[in-house]
Amino acid sequence: MSTTDAPAYEVDARNRVKRRHDRGFYDHETVHALLDAAALCHVSYVIDGQPYCTPTLFWREGTTLYWHGSSASRMLRNLSTGEPACLTVTHLDSLVLARCGFNHSADYRSVMAFGQAKLVTDPVEKRRALVMMVDRFFPDRTASLRQSTDQEIKATAVIAMEIERASAKIRAKGVADDDEDYALPIYAERLPIRTVIGAPEPCPRLMPGVARTADLAHYQAGRLLDDALTDAYAEAYKA
Amino acid sequence: MSTTDAPAYEVDARNRVKRRHDRGFYDHETVHALLDAAALCHVSYVIDGQPYCTPTLFWREGTTLYWHGSSASRMLRNLSTGEPACLTVTHLDSLVLARCGFNHSADYRSVMAFGQAKLVTDPVEKRRALVMMVDRFFPDRTASLRQSTDQEIKATAVIAMEIERASAKIRAKGVADDDEDYALPIYAERLPIRTVIGAPEPCPRLMPGVARTADLAHYQAGRLLDDALTDAYAEAYKA
């Protein structure tokens, strides 16, 4: 997935994949594709030595990650001056049942990204980020919405983190037993896990004649969520 | 979901749900049910002031959480003497498209659990944990497997964290627009997200006559992963 000339994140003690280093990737293409296929991440930060792990929606723009929350939240108060953070995305693709306990595993695709999380305070950058917070998932949707009020913009905090270091880690091999164990009469399987889109549920209070919009075309029932998110991302950030 | 007499986690600054506190729950029943419906968690820990957010499989036993990894991993070296950690589980249930950007949201069920993560060093506790690491997901499966070698047990580190504080946070209301916005001709919907089990893929190298085992009965194609995990958990820890 990487070539030696491709843009890649620098490697240091923070992001080097130590355990199972054969599963590690640092090139932008691999790292960014896994980020853009996700809506949910977990962000870790520290307050007084105590780590917190907070789930949130997020998106990427170049080598910057964005997420948001209420201006009142604990995390955001702490991060306003720039605090070290780690944003992690994980796609769980399977549970792997092997012939011994030790080789039980899971297939997954994950990214850990490190940087300094900072509040977006510039009004122009914040307005643009609040548009992309919606449009990254649903291209051009903001144009069809009731405009945000000043109060809403004030109440929403946007966090930006330039990625200083990042790594992807991928396991995609299913059952991998010790050679001598394949001769044992023990059942083993790869149990696929799929995160899919269900049947859309239109708001019961829609005005008459209001139909599903083109910005949602990528989100059809039964599609893999990561495929839909990848396609929507490509459309939202197309040149 | 909670009654005043039900067992609950104490609340302090670590686990109090501050933002949208109406979405917060502290009772064991709610917190444990969300944990037991998951296989994947994200664990946050701190090394030299730098937060790390690591995805891993985990399980619960009473008010203790367990996870594992190679003895060589960075996290485990650091946690061997007991280090503050935060283990978070998130079920993403929908993306919510509202009539303004501010009310775009997601339905989710999450738990944040805080405690001191410690290496399990007692050999008896470690052996039992290595059995439950498999059997919690696939009840009684270990009995049918090739036994673990001393080398494998040595190479697997088990981490235990007694839950000192925990909170659940649940949003499950779909579209929730401002009252006056429902009159606008704008499309809004709840887009369900489902994490489901795919068609099992038996190992291509199974010995002749080896069939899928009863420990996997909960994992049928099309089932919701959290339902399967909940059922398997109940069977594994039945009285």
What are the structural domain ranges in chain B?
Answer: 21-194
Paired with B195 in beta bridges are A195
Other Cβ atoms less than 10 A from the Cβ of B171: the count is 18
Lowest mean pLDDT among A27-36, A90-99, B214-223, B224-233: B214-223
Nearest residue on chain B to A142, alpha-carbon basis:
B101
- φ, ψ at B181 (rounded to 5°): -80, -20
Q: What is the 3-state secondary structure (H, E, C) of chain A?
A: CCCCCCCECCCCCCCCCCCCHHHEECEHHHHHHHHHCCCEEEEEEEECCEEEEEEEEEEEECCEEEEEEECCCHHHHHHCCCEEEEEEEEEEEEEEECCEHHHCEEEEEEEEEEEEEEECCCHHHHHHHHHHHHHCCCCCHHHHCECCCHHHHHHEEEEEEECCEEEEEEECCCCCCCHHHHHCCCCCEEEEEEEEECCCEECCCCCCCCCCCHHHCCCCCCCEHHHHHHHHHHHHCCC
- pLDDT, one tens digit per residue, over B160-198 is 999 999 999 999 999 999 999 999 999 999 999 999 999
pLDDT at B142: 97
- What integer is the mean pLDDT of B80-104? 94
Q: How confident is the model at residue A200 (pLDDT cuts 50, 70, 90)?
A: very high
pLDDT over threshold 90, residue A59: yes
Q: State the Cα–Cα distance between residues A190 and A104, nearest whole angstrom.
A: 10
**What is the CB neighbour count within 10 angstroms for residue A156?**
20
- Compute chain A's Rg from CA coordinates: 21
What is the reported pLDDT for A18?
A: 76
> Are A194 and B189 inside 8 Å of each other by CB?
no
Say which residues have a Cβ less than 8 Å from residue A23's Cβ, sequence separation at least 6.
A17, A169, A170, A171
Mean pLDDT of B206-214: 95
Q: State how far the Cα of B94 lies from the Cα of A196, in Å rounded to an integer.
A: 10
CA dist list (Å): B158 to A201, B72, B81, B107, B234: 43, 12, 13, 33, 22
pLDDT at A71 over 60: no
Q: What is the mean pLDDT of residues A17-36?
A: 90
Average pLDDT (A13-27) is 85
Write out the two tokens for B218: 């909960």
- Indicate the pLDDT class of residue A77, thresholds 50, 70 and 90: low
pLDDT for A78 beyond 90: no
- The span from the CA of A222 to the CA of A111, in Å, is 25
At A2, the pLDDT band (50, 70, 90 cuts) reads very low
Q: Which residue of B has its CA nearest to A108?
A: B55
| Nearest CB partner across the interface for A133, out of B88, B101, B211 | B101
At A183 the pLDDT is 98
pLDDT digit string, tens, across residues A112-144: 999 999 999 899 999 999 999 999 999 999 999
CA of A66 to nearest chain B CA: how many angstroms apart?
Answer: 15
Q: Are the Cβ atoms of A216 and B130 closer than 8 angstroms?
A: no
pLDDT given at position B165: 96
Task: Decide if pLDDT at A1 tops 60.
Answer: no
* Minimum distance, in Å, between the CA of residue A1 and any CA atom of chain B: 22
A102 and B177 within 8 Å at the Cβ level: the answer is no
Q: Give A219→chain B minimum CA distance, Å.
A: 8
- List the structure tokens of B103: 């009310």
Cβ distance A53 to B42 less than 8 Å, yes or no, reads: yes
Tell me the pLDDT band of B2, cut-offs 50, 70 and 90: very low
Percent of chain A residues topping a pLDDT of 90: 80
Over residues A4-9, the mean pLDDT reads 84
Chain A environment of B200 (Cβ under 8 Å): 189-192
The answer, yes or no, to whether residue A21 has pLDDT greater than 90, is no
Q: How confident is the model at residue B239 (pLDDT cuts 50, 70, 90)?
A: low
Comparing C-alpha atoms, which of A60, A178, A158 is closest to residue A118? A158
For domain A21-194, give the fold. Answer: Pnp Oxidase; Chain A (2.30.110)
**Mean pLDDT value of segment A14-19:** 83
- Output the average pLDDT for chain A: 92
Q: What is the pLDDT of residue B82?
A: 85
Position B72 pLDDT exceeds 60: no
